[in-house]
Amino acid sequence: MLKAPTPTDSMDINEAAREVIELTRGEALKNRVSLQTQFTKDLPTIAGDRVQLQQVVLNLVVNALQATSGVSDDTRQVLVTTRQAEPNEIYLGVLPVQG
C-alpha cells in the first residue's frame, strides 16, 4: 500500500504558530495561564505540511499548559518563541515559565 505524499506548502512559521495560540487561548484562560509570544520578525518561509506543523505546536502548547497546572503561582505563563537558529534552520520553542 502506497502512502500519499505529504503536501508541502510555503508558510510563515510565526503565522502558523499564532493561529494555534488563538485556538488554545480559551483553554489557557480557563487554567489561568498567560500565553506570551516572542517571535523574530522577517524569518524566511518554511516548506512543510501546515496542518502537521500546527498539530505539533498544539501538542507542545497543551503539554506546557498541563505542566503549569501544578504551579500555584498567580503568574503562570507559557512562552512561545521563534528565531533563526542556523542559516537553514528555524527554532520554535514552547516553554512553561515560572513567575
Domains and CATH numbers, the chain: 9-97 (3.30.565.10)
Mean per-residue pLDDT for 4-13? 79
Q: Which residue has the higher pLDDT, 26 or 75?
A: 26
Q: Which residue has the higher pLDDT, 6 or 63?
A: 63
- Provide the pLDDT confidence category of residue 75 given band limits of 50, 70 and 90: confident
The whole-angstrom separation of Cα 28 and Cα 97 is: 14
Q: Which residue has the higher pLDDT, 73 or 51?
A: 51
Q: Which residue has the higher pLDDT, 37 or 75?
A: 37
pLDDT(87) > 90: no
pLDDT of residue 79: 95
The whole-angstrom separation of Cα 94 and Cα 90 is: 13
High-pLDDT (> 70) share of the chain, %: 87
